[in-house]
Amino acid sequence: MGLTSNKVLALAVAAAVLLFVATVWLWPRLARRGARAVAGRVGLLLATQLSLFAAVGLAANNSFLFYGSWADLFGQQQDMGVVVDHAEGTHLRVVGKRKPEGVPGGARPATSGQIHKVVVSGERSGIDSPAYVYLPPEYFRAEHRDRTFPAAVVLTGYPGTAENLLKGLKYPSTAFEQARDGRTQPLILVMLRPTVAPPRDTECVDVPGGPRTETFFAEDLPKAVSETYRVGSQPRNWGIIGNSTGGYCALKIALHHPDRFSAGVGLSAYYKAAEDPTTGDLFHGDDRERKRADLLWSLDHLPQGRSSFLVTTSRQGEGNLKGTQAFVGKVKAPARVSSIVLDSGGHNFNTWRREIPPALEWLGGRLSPS
């Protein structure tokens, strides 16, 4: 049974309850003096505390998906390595296919869509990164075989795993339901984490002498996807969305590259690149690049393109309310900005699941399939 299985959680809760009952029941018998009685009391208390800790930890992980598997929890690699042939140029290789979770209609791609596990190799950035590509059912239907589709890059927070976007935040099933119900057009989703040079958090910056993360997301990734799938290469064909660090990256890429992306969505985003032990030295003394990574500075000092932005926050529970209000106030034509402001909501999956459906509907309304 997997780490995120409901059966594992149910067993952990049952074990905690049984040990609690056993402690209450056996405590009078262990109240005597003596090494065996003391050892029994210590053992019961320790076992009960550990079982409670495990149950609470599993419940929290099922809600927020900090870890996607036992191997992830214990820092072990589960999947076999994938051999990637590094031909010249940017390219994408499909290494696995599966049905999206939570989508009805059986396993036929023309009914439920399909998830491709891929490896993207960037010529300009020199970065290789795994990702998941969600293809809607319309992509596989005969009547749409000549149709192109709009695409959205979807980013996790840091450190995050791309699996969080499939399971915890349910992007494919949400996109499926919204297209089925006519609330948005069918979208291709390209899902990955912003940490393309793990374990370093590069904040979607081209680090001097280091990972060229911005180049990977702004140039290599859309090029590879457009060359592999029926997605156009114009800005109107592309959007980008993310939460937390991924939200900052989404806004940054859309703001600085309106020639590549016409829309960017920041869920619980912050507006200035973090600089801490996880990032290392991102700018190597280049003050101009440090300022450029501050989105509020960029809005004030750099030309604004025709990109559309959606930012989210809450009046209680988020720390980005003032920054979000400042961002909204600084966006000027020809750029456009929209916002979602919840009355309350913390920096967590529960909040983002409330924002993703309207965000995808907004995004679909600003992208064109051709």
Q: Using 50, 70 and 90 to split pLDDT, how confident is the model at 89?
A: low
Structure token digits, residue 146: 């000549």
- Look at 100-109, 279-288, 303-312 and tell me which has the smallest mean pLDDT: 100-109
Do residues 358 and 340 make contact, with C-beta atoms less than 8 angstroms apart? yes
What's the pLDDT at 63? 56
What's the pLDDT at 4? 62
Same domain, 311 and 179: yes
- Residue 82 covered by a domain: no
- Residue 286 covered by a domain: yes
Same domain, 103 and 225: yes
- Residue 370 covered by a domain: no
Same domain, 230 and 352: yes
Same domain, 111 and 66: no
What's the pLDDT at 84? 46
Same domain, 167 and 56: no
Same domain, 57 and 95: no
Beta-sheet pairing, 188-192 with 128-135? antiparallel
Q: Using 50, 70 and 90 to split pLDDT, how confident is the model at 67?
A: low
Same domain, 103 and 13: no
Same domain, 112 and 260: yes
Query: Where would I find the H helices in the chain?
Result: 6-26, 35-64, 70-73, 109-112, 162-166, 171-180, 213-215, 221-228, 245-256, 287-292, 295-301, 321-330, 349-364
What's the pLDDT at 115? 96
- pLDDT score of 316 more than 80: yes
Cα-Cα-Cα-Cα dihedral sign, residues 2, 7, 13, 15: negative
CA proximity to 92, closest of 149, 131, 65: 131
- Look at 18-22, 96-100, 125-129, 166-170 and tell me which has the smallest mean pLDDT: 18-22
- pLDDT score of 40 more than 70: no
- Residue 80 covered by a domain: no
Share of the chain above pLDDT 70, in %: 88
CA proximity to 183, closest of 308, 355, 358: 358
Same domain, 106 and 146: yes
- pLDDT score of 311 more than 70: yes
- pLDDT score of 231 more than 60: yes
- Residue 369 covered by a domain: no
- Residue 32 covered by a domain: yes
Q: Which domain holds residue 343?
A: 89-364
- pLDDT score of 261 more than 50: yes
Same domain, 224 and 289: yes
What's the pLDDT at 62? 63
Q: When comparing pLDDT for 313 and 32, which is higher?
A: 313
When divided into structural domains, the chain yields a total of 2
Same domain, 116 and 48: no
Q: What average pLDDT score do residues 27-50 get?
A: 72
Phi–psi pair at 49, nearest 5 degrees: -65, -45
Q: Tell me: the pLDDT tens digits for 93-119?
A: 999 999 998 888 778 999 999 999 999
> Mean of the per-residue pLDDT values for the chain?
88
- Residue 84 covered by a domain: no
CA distance 193 to 195: 5
Same domain, 30 and 134: no
Domain stops at, among 45, 72, 99: 72
Do residues 165 and 130 make contact, with C-beta atoms less than 8 angstroms apart? no
What is the CATH number for 101?
Answer: 3.40.50.1820
- Residue 1 covered by a domain: no
Structure token digits, residue 197: 């040079």
